[in-house]
Chain A
Amino acid sequence: MEASASRSEINAQNKKRRKTSWRQYIPFYVMALPGVIYMICNNYLPMGGIIIAFKNMNFKKGIWGSDWAGFDNFKFLFASQDAWTITRNTLLYNSAFIVLGTVLSIAVAILINEVKNKTASKMYQSLILLPFLMSWVIVNYLVFALLSAETGLLNNSILNALGKPAVSWYNEKQYWPYILIISNMWKTIGYSMIIYLSSIVGISQDYYEAASIDGASKWRQTWAITIPLLKPTIITLFILSVGRIFYSDFGLFYQVPRNSGTLYSVTRTIDVYVYNALMRNSDFGMSSAASVYQSIVGFTLVLGANLLIRKLSRENALF
């Protein structure tokens, strides 16, 4: 009797506490609400919109009114040459960016770390980072000032002076892999350099002092101390970018080649294809099929990359 009474008392107390504690959390939910609403509108509703790819989309009828198309949109997409081209371009350019970007930004970070003059070092960092602040629209203008067939610096001042004929840059495919890679390196190296520099700065000076006492040259110290200690950062960033290899930088591939049709076979990536199919041709079938194809493969890769990082360094994983 007594025991049960006290138990019910405790229960009542617990209930009361739970009630008040629940109430005490209400302000937190209120604060989380705008963010939750935003994510539902911006992220979760579009996830449901994936069914557009399986519909014969008619804007007037809306999603629910349009007829089902099954996998027809995907069949059309993969029957075209485009599907292969855009996949190849996306993967090859991203691979080039990952490899070159990693090597160059580490090299730049190591060299900048050697500059002992603080003011000079800060100035170099700021200048090399400056392009990262610019939008791709601006980069489009800058590249155009160099490459324009009629007024560009390259044709008029450099090729001319060398006695070489002018090149119609925006119509000749063979140069574009280089132009795109250089443009991307120019814009993004400063960013990844800062990340590597911040982990180089974190390396204890004791290692280097011990190494110089043992007579190791700077070159050797770089390979035996700096690079091995950077390895975790390199691996993490590498895996993260491999996880995003199916997504391309729309701005780079849309703005820099100025959406020139003659260059499509070497400049068009999945994102540019989706944009053109959707906004220029109003082709909901092809664009949504390509966009869902990117989402699904992209999701698999991001997931795989994160599982791998989780194994290697828990704290860098997203989940």
Chain B
Amino acid sequence: MNFKLDETRVWQYSAHIVMIFLSVCALMPFILLFIASFTDNTTAMVNGYSFFPEKWSLDAYQYITREWRTVGQAYIMTILVTVIGTAGSLAITSMFAYAISNRNLPGRKLLSFMSIFTMLFNGGIVSSYYVYSSVFQIKNTIWALIIPNLLMNAFTVMLVRNYFANSVSPSITEAARIDGAGEFRIFARIMLPLSVPILATIGLMGAIAYWNDWTNGLYFLTERDGGHLYTVQLVLNSINENINFLANNSQITASAGRMELPSTTIRMAIAVIGILPIILAYPFFQKYFIKGIALGGVKE
């Protein structure tokens, strides 16, 4: 008995030790980024980024507040895209899911298959790029950040359909139908309020996907004509691309008509500003986020 107790304790302690180690590993790069953004630029250039910089400085943030137009604009774009995208995605997904959750609907199988087949096969990036840029002329418009790929996916459709079909009792909708309520009314007044948990979960996932997205902008926005539409992620990405461009073409200097590159600490400060809202909001939504993953609602 005594031995058993000890064994449990050993497991407890080792579990805590491993978890503390992993949590530190997960957190450490963020702390480094954070400290780097508060480091004096010359110190960073001489000593490199460090957890214990010799000289601290607020210069990077002062620069950003002076240049708030660029960063602030990117912030507004990120919020706009996230709000419109998430709302649109919730509307389209829940309506489609409601339609195919009706077991008697003629053609329901076809609609479900149409959705599932998109998970099995796709036309590839090149034809998708061609369709959006040449057929729909979406390049350098805000729709380029909202519509391609993110608006609806078969996986969330399946989750919402299953919720509608299994967690909402059909007798409720049946009763409403007998009372003469139309389908739109039933959907908006009964189905949606009863499905808040799943809608909140997929809404959260959608919002994170839009907030973090940079690939749509990479394909459909050009710096010259679409730069004013850049979200925070795209500003961060374009800073990198310009630095890489200079690193690979060292004979061209920054003065040759290209944008002036922010100093090393300013880059880190912009990155901090980009992740801060997520980190601050995380404690409030992490419960739903974890629940969503357990449901299989977050795709990698």
Contact = CB atoms under 8 A, between A and B. Distances in A.
Contacts of B293: 129, 191, 194-195
Interface stretch (B40-48, B63-71, B166-174, B252-260): B40-48
Contacts of B294: 194-195, 197-198
Contact of B96 (A32, A190, A291): A32
Given A28-B102, A38-B152, A138-B274, A278 B126 contact: yes
A302 interface: yes
B62 interface: no
Contact of A295 (B123, B182, B268): B123
B296 interface: yes
A106 B165 CA distance: 32
A131 B26 contact: yes
B290 interface: yes
B146 to A, nearest CB: 11
A103 B19 CA distance: 16
B240 A157 contact: no
B122 interface: yes
A83 B243 CA distance: 29
Contact size class for B? 35 or more
Interface of A: 22, 24-25, 27-29, 31-32, 34-36, 38-39, 41-43, 45-50, 52-53, 59, 62-63, 108, 111-112, 114-116, 120, 123-131, 133-138, 140-143, 145-146, 148, 150-153, 155-157, 186, 188, 190-191, 194-195, 197-198, 212, 217-218, 249-251, 255, 258-261, 271, 274-275, 278-279, 284, 287-288, 291-292, 294-295, 299, 302-303, 306, 318-319
Interface of B: 4, 7-8, 11-12, 14-16, 18-20, 22-23, 25-27, 29-30, 32-33, 36, 44-45, 47-51, 91-93, 95-96, 98-100, 102, 104-107, 111, 113-116, 118-131, 134-136, 147-149, 151-152, 157, 182-184, 187, 208, 212-215, 218-219, 233, 236-237, 240-241, 244, 248, 264, 267-268, 271, 274-275, 278-279, 282-283, 286, 289-290, 293-294, 296, 298, 300
Given A150-B45, A151-B48, A157-B48, 6 more contacts: A47-B123, A111-B14, A112-B15, A126-B282, A191-B300, A194-B294
